[in-house]
Amino acid sequence: MSLHVRRTGPLATVQDRGRTGLAHLGVPRAGALDAPAAALANRLVGNGPDAAVVEVTFGGLELTADAGAWVAVTGAPVPVDVDGAARGHAGAAWLPSGSTLRLGTPREGVRSYVAVAGGVTVAPVLGSRSTDTLAWVGPPRLEPGAVLPVGPSTRGPAAHDTPRPPRPGPLRVRPGPRADWFAPGTFAAMCRAPYVVGEASDRVGMRLEGPRLERVREGELPSEGMVLGAVQVPPSGLPVVLLADHPPTGGYPVPAVVEEDDLWRCAQLRPGDLVRFTPA
């Protein structure tokens, strides 16, 4: 079967768990920004953990099925309907042949995930079906008229009582490798300061606005490897949390790194949302 894209909203891409192990070749990781939400969507429709899903930014996606299939929507809560009939969030729903699945605008959060039983089976590139929005490796961003092939379903849908454990409060961070490029006490000061998510944030990085971090070393840092969650500080002094599509290397100093288990929260923070850090 196939899913036919009618509308996409601001941005819709195909994502799986990303192309890991290629950073030494200069290839970004990509993959679903909210990995727990994408994994839950796959479990709900009986897919394995490596199945590709559609990541939808700020809703607006419409897909028409040419054969019946189970689908599930997770992540940012959005109104979901099939041919105008409301369907639930974070549960499996039957999408009959010829019917259209529609996602509205999320009430909170940013990114929703649509899984279909059998998984989206666009051709993999370097071992992954993920779209990398930095270098545009992998399948292109979805546009109206695109056709998404779907693999055979091997298991039926299953209920999963696996709500995401809430973790309100600050993002946990550990000290980074370049504390000596900043004034003494910078890590502690960053953990006390309020920041706001900037409008320019995307899948590459969450750009923050707020108190500037003071550098005490001038000049350029030789480009070095960057990990997911690294908090880079460009010459502006404003931190940038590197996300799934970040470049494998960078030349700005890193005073802190966000805990991996908290990164999904960065995927759901909107421009204008308050961000605080705390030592891990």
Low-confidence residues of the chain: pLDDT under 50:
none
Contact 262, 275 (CB under 8 A): no
pLDDT recorded at residue 161 = 57
User: Could you tell me if residue 162 is inside a domain?
Assistant: no
| Shared domain check, 188 and 61 | no
pLDDT recorded at residue 154 = 79
| Shared domain check, 176 and 143 | no
Q: Is the dihedral of CA 106, 107, 113, 115 positive or negative?
A: negative
| Shared domain check, 124 and 9 | yes
| Shared domain check, 141 and 11 | yes
Write the burial class of residue 18 (CB in 10 Å: 0-12 exposed, 13-18 middle, 19+ buried): buried
User: Could you tell me if residue 115 is inside a domain?
Assistant: yes
95, 114, 149 — which closes off a domain?
149
Which two structure tokens, joined as six digits, stand for 79? 């109104």
| Shared domain check, 254 and 181 | yes
pLDDT recorded at residue 162 = 58
User: Cα–chain-centroid distance for residue 256?
Assistant: 20
pLDDT recorded at residue 240 = 98
Our count of domains for the chain comes to: 2
Average pLDDT, the chain: 94
pLDDT recorded at residue 159 = 67
User: Cα–chain-centroid distance for residue 268?
Assistant: 8
- CATH no. for residue 265? 2.40.100.10
pLDDT in tens, 197-244: 999 999 999 999 999 999 998 878 889 999 999 999 999 999 999 999
| Shared domain check, 8 and 124 | yes
| Shared domain check, 268 and 133 | no
User: Could you tell me if residue 108 is inside a domain?
Assistant: yes
| Shared domain check, 178 and 62 | no
User: Could you tell me if residue 154 is inside a domain?
Assistant: no
Dist. CA 236–CA 214, nearest whole Å: 10
User: Could you tell me if residue 13 is inside a domain?
Assistant: yes
The answer for 126, left when phi > 0, alpha when psi is -120 to 50, beta otherwise, is left
Q: Which domain holds residue 256?
A: 171-279
149, 184, 215 — which closes off a domain?
149
pLDDT recorded at residue 164 = 60
| Shared domain check, 210 and 136 | no
Write the burial class of residue 175 (CB in 10 Å: 0-12 exposed, 13-18 middle, 19+ buried): middle
| Shared domain check, 124 and 30 | yes
| Shared domain check, 96 and 219 | no
User: Could you tell me if residue 164 is inside a domain?
Assistant: no
User: Could you tell me if residue 160 is inside a domain?
Assistant: no
Give, in order, the Cα–Cα distances in Å from 245 to each of 86, 110, 181, 206.
33, 16, 25, 11
User: Could you tell me if residue 253 is inside a domain?
Assistant: yes
| Shared domain check, 194 and 71 | no
149, 182, 214 — which closes off a domain?
149
